[in-house]
Structure 1
Amino acid sequence: MLSPSIPLAKDVVRPPETVLVNITPQETRVAVLEENKVCEIHIERNSGHGLVGNIYLGLVRRVLPGMQSAFIDIGLERAAFLHIVDVLEQRQKPEQTQRIEHMLFEGQSVLVQVIKDPINSKGARLSTQISLAGRFLVHLPQDEHIGISQRIEDEEERAHLRARMEALLPAESCHGYIIRTSAETATDAELQADIDYLTKLWANIRQLANTSAPESLLYQDLPLTLRVLRDMYSSNTRSMLVDSKENFERMHAFAQQYVQGALGTLALFSGERPLFETHHVEAEINQALQPRVNLNFGGYLIIEPTEAMTTIDVNTGGFVGARNFDETIFKTNLEACYAIARELRLRNLGGIIIIDFIDMVNEEHRNAVLQELAKALSYDRTRVTLNGFTSLGLVELTRKRTRESLSHILSEPCGTCSGRGRLKTAQTVCYEIQREIVREARRYDAQSYRILAAPAVIDLFLDEESQSLAMLVDFIGKPISLAVEGSYTQEQFDVVLL
């Protein structure tokens, strides 16, 4: 049985951030560094622009009452998915149970927004509740309430911000807003400019919805270079380095209009070596594709993402620096907390995450590790829910998944092992070939047989398995020849009848 959720630390002091923006004609990459360590990587490719935030005029293809969901075409390769919990009417009245078949019908046009990118074989996830992000505000044109970011915790500040927003909005306004964290330092003029911009944007989207054909894109979120300024810049940002003059000027113009506080941090990088190489980001990206993560004192993590969840195993490795074994385990687990939190952000791992810390007998040690993990996870921009130790000594947490992981963006399943991460041994393949020859000998009356296989398999037939091959020749009464195929993988083979 799982323990109740553990609140993440609220009073942590975030280290200063350095944001690096690397731009090529094919892709944009953004790295966020804290204390000279890469903690986040964001990649946007021209061939696969992220869809989150995009607004479409969708076409309902199928309504599934049993699943309380619908498949909606928005012009992509796979139909997108809309669940009842993301339908506006249900979100506005969560206490009332409503039926999706009473709200949607096949062939209907419906305004939808992408809230999750397509991941693996799953289509994009949609919502009919539209939200438009500005620099200081999130506009909710179908709602009427004013919400405030949960990161603003001071009640007096929350009340002050709400009063300021109510004073700025016209009396007859029936639109809702969420006040973002960055609004704490915004002037009334800046808030009013955000309101005007978002109001015009929504009016333009509604006009397009009335004149466009179904499956049309009505609104696309800002490119990554500008989202960096809108979403990532904060008072904690020490510098933002950009290695493209054209995009630096574009970002500078955007900052002058919407994020003036960022102007002092924005700089054009002009070093002789590439930006990411100078700050050792390329090496960090390559390391983030490996399952093993070494800790400073000799311990290590093994991170294994699967379709259902991600498992993280903590090991002491060569760490023997503490006074006794319990202390060694405790120190390794404490060090692992910050490494795990960083790897979740760096690899952008989402969904269910199971951590197998090294077993600790001391209850105080277990509580201290949980508190340290909660503190480390509090740096994450993405919503994380942390649970305590289970009866098996495992820690479960969930991290909101909104886009594909770094591994899914940069890599694909191995064509040799089909994504298993394992290969059949040469000996296993030898025995498969022999069984195949027996089957063929019973079905066909061939004069002889030839085995085409990878070099390692043929070498085994000529050495350790030469006797078993001779016994097979005697059994079927036909000669068998061998031929090396250098292009074959270890699991590939052919049996040719001659």
Structure 2
Amino acid sequence: MDEEKTMLVSKALEEIRIAILEEDKLSEIFFEDFETDRNIGKIFLGIIENRVPSLEAFFVNIGLGKNGFLRYRDVLDDPNQYKVGDKILVQVRKDGGTRKGPQLSMQISLPGKYLVYIPNSNESIGISRKILQEKERIRLRQVAKKILIDNESIIFRTNSEGIDEKEVEVELSEMRKMYNSILQRFHSQKNPGVLYEESDFLEYILRERLDSKTKKIITDDRQIFRKLKKSLKGFELKPKVEFVRGDVFQIHNIYHQMEEIFTKKIELSGGGTITVDRTEALTAIDVDSAGNLEGKNIEETSFITNMEAAKEIARQLKLRNIGGMIVVDFIDMKDSSHKKTIINILKEESKKDKSKVTILGFTNMGLLEIIRKRTTQPLDTNVYSQCPLCHGTGKIIAPSLVHGRLIKELLSSAKEIKKEKIKVIEINAFHNLSGYLTPALTEELEKQLNVKLEVSFNWLNPNSYNIKYKK
């Protein structure tokens, strides 16, 4: 039985926030500020600034500060016909990171309610893999062949199942007009910059996330309530829309569930745990039985914990928007049928994910490898900024090492202190050095250096300290 979904739409100040629940459990969350900052899907006028044959790519100025990266294979024609200074039409396929600019393509695609329109394409007609009936897939292909012209293609989205041919034709006509409008701006504009972007955050989420499982949309804003009623008239799917007083996120316990998104360790209801460690290159997930005592023996206990963990891992990947290479260290299982079951659970749960998830299987070391298509940055990179002290490691230098460095610096300056006739030395350190810089040690240092030491513990950086010499 499919899990029913509820969409919560809340407004805080001028920002819209949207949470999607599956059976009252947070499945996905979107913030207007973060989504509008993303560039994926935007279409730009770009100027080729550099050609790098060793990378088989161009670097393209699209007006964002960081140049975009355009691979030869994402160019429409022969890459050799392009040179530095050329004006090109590009679309962002993948957002950049802190060090990299966005990944670009010259193959433009425009998403609609039912279709994705791809001009300048001779690819075969695409149909969402979630449309399962072969009879319907054949019908949609026939519809496409009737309405498509040369050098264009379409992909039927999940919402197009059962759609009337006339509606497909109307949407395709609108998308052709939109593309022609983009081309006009491209030809008239000279400088790098955006030519097309999603105009409405709420409309975008409705189009991308509304499906047959969504039975209800609840909002705490009157204006959004009216807008939802109006917007849903254009959708085949029409879930029930409700208005509630108060904070809909508070009512449905979203804030507490949001806190769980960013914790390293996740408690499973059966007593086990999963631990998520994310780096730029890959994400490592460890499964532990912890307090789970179910099962007749070790193998069965491991299997029970791993099954629960597999479902939660699929949910966490989607919820945290973790992409790229993922390695899962499940509790060791000797029974090969148990491993197959774990893979099947992950495959089934991943069908709920909009991003493509590939389960590669268990390695010889017993680690399960997963690849989730990465298009935008993980959620935590938007919510949290890197700590300027530990630089993302989550660690600080041991206070004993900082203390040793401080003492060495003072003692090595003894000759200079005497020469400059220093009378007072002010030391300001982080509070974790208070157990090292004791009154007894301070007194001993004063005798050795023949100065007055004034020590305080108000320094904000645990990895350093501040010393002032006064005559």
| Global fold match (TM > 0.5) | yes
Cα distance in 2 for residues equivalent to 1:285 and 1:491:
31
Which residue identity does 1:82 align to in structure 2? L
Percentage of identical aligned residues: 29
Choose the corresponding residue for 1:451, options 427, 445, 452. 427
Q: Does 1:315 align with 2:303?
A: no
Q: Is the 8 A contact 2:9 2:17 kept in 1?
A: yes
Q: Does 1:496 align with 2:443?
A: no
Q: Which residue of 1 aligns with 2:42?
A: 54
Q: Is the 8 A contact 2:228 2:241 kept in 1?
A: no
SS state at 1:52 partner? coil
Which residue identity does 2:469 align to in structure 1? L
Per the TM alignment, residue 44 of structure 1 is displaced from its structure 2 partner at its CA by 2.3
Per the TM alignment, residue 305 of structure 1 is displaced from its structure 2 partner at its CA by 1.0
Q: Does 1:168 align with 2:142?
A: no
Q: Which residue of 2 aligns with 1:191?
A: 168
Q: Does 1:114 align with 2:92?
A: yes
Q: Does 1:277 align with 2:244?
A: no
Which residue identity does 2:96 align to in structure 1? P
Q: Which residue of 2 aligns with 1:9?
A: none
SS state at 1:185 partner? coil
CA spacing shift, 1:213–1:284, aligned 2, 3 Å: same
Q: Is the 8 A contact 1:79 1:123 kept in 2?
A: yes
Which residue identity does 1:208 align to in structure 2? R
- After TM superposition, the structure 1 stretch with the greater mean CA deviation from structure 2, 118-127 or 130-139, is 118-127
Q: Does 1:382 align with 2:382?
A: no
- After TM superposition, the structure 1 stretch with the greater mean CA deviation from structure 2, 442-451 or 127-136, is 442-451
SS state at 1:461 partner? coil
Cα distance in 1 for residues equivalent to 2:221 and 2:63:
32
Choose the corresponding residue for 1:208, options 164, 172, 185. 185
Per the TM alignment, residue 296 of structure 1 is displaced from its structure 2 partner at its CA by 0.5
Q: Which residue of 2 aligns with 1:424?
A: 397
CA spacing shift, 1:472–1:481, aligned 2, 3 Å: closer
SS state at 1:41 partner? strand
Which residue identity does 1:385 align to in structure 2? T
Q: Which residue of 2 aligns with 1:146?
A: 125
Which residue identity does 1:52 align to in structure 2? I
Q: Is the 8 A contact 2:431 2:459 kept in 1?
A: no
Cα distance in 2 for residues equivalent to 1:252 and 1:153:
30
Per the TM alignment, residue 189 of structure 1 is displaced from its structure 2 partner at its CA by 2.3
Q: Is the 8 A contact 2:131 2:158 kept in 1?
A: yes
Per the TM alignment, residue 198 of structure 1 is displaced from its structure 2 partner at its CA by 0.5
- After TM superposition, the structure 1 stretch with the greater mean CA deviation from structure 2, 482-491 or 373-382, is 482-491
Cα distance in 2 for residues equivalent to 1:248 and 1:496:
61
Per the TM alignment, residue 405 of structure 1 is displaced from its structure 2 partner at its CA by 1.3
Residues 307-386 of structure 1 correspond to what in structure 2 (within 5 A)?
Answer: 307-386=280-359
Cα distance in 1 for residues equivalent to 2:35 and 2:4:
33
Cα distance in 1 for residues equivalent to 2:126 and 2:34:
34
SS state at 2:348 partner? helix
Choose the corresponding residue for 1:75, options 63, 83, 99. 63
Cα distance in 2 for residues equivalent to 1:251 and 1:439:
71
In the superposition, the TM-score normalised over structure 2's length comes to 0.92
Q: Is the 8 A contact 1:458 1:483 kept in 2?
A: no
SS state at 2:32 partner? strand
Per the TM alignment, residue 326 of structure 1 is displaced from its structure 2 partner at its CA by 2.4
Q: Is the 8 A contact 1:309 1:352 kept in 2?
A: yes
More RCO (CA 8 Å, sep 6+): 1
SS state at 1:381 partner? coil
CA spacing shift, 1:52–1:66, aligned 2, 3 Å: same
Per the TM alignment, residue 375 of structure 1 is displaced from its structure 2 partner at its CA by 2.2
CA spacing shift, 1:149–1:347, aligned 2, 3 Å: same
Q: Which residue of 1 aligns with 2:7?
A: 19
Deviations 1:269-306 (A, max 9, x none): 223x3011111111111111111100002111111111
SS state at 1:371 partner? helix
Count of residue correspondences? 466
Segments of structure 1 that go 5 or more residues without pairing to the other structure are 1-12, 90-97
Choose the corresponding residue for 1:415, options 388, 395, 402. 388
Deviations 1:55-81 (A, max 9, x none): 111111111111011111111121111
Q: Which residue of 1 aligns with 2:272?
A: 299
Cα distance in 1 for residues equivalent to 2:355 and 2:452:
61
Segments of structure 2 that go 5 or more residues without pairing to the other structure are none
Choose the corresponding residue for 1:29, options 5, 17, 23. 17
Which residue identity does 1:130 align to in structure 2? I
In the superposition, the TM-score normalised over structure 1's length comes to 0.87
Q: Which residue of 2 aligns with 1:460?
A: 436
Cα distance in 2 for residues equivalent to 1:47 and 1:370:
32
SS state at 1:241 partner? strand
Choose the corresponding residue for 2:241, options 267, 271, 274. 267
Cα distance in 2 for residues equivalent to 1:153 and 1:268:
32
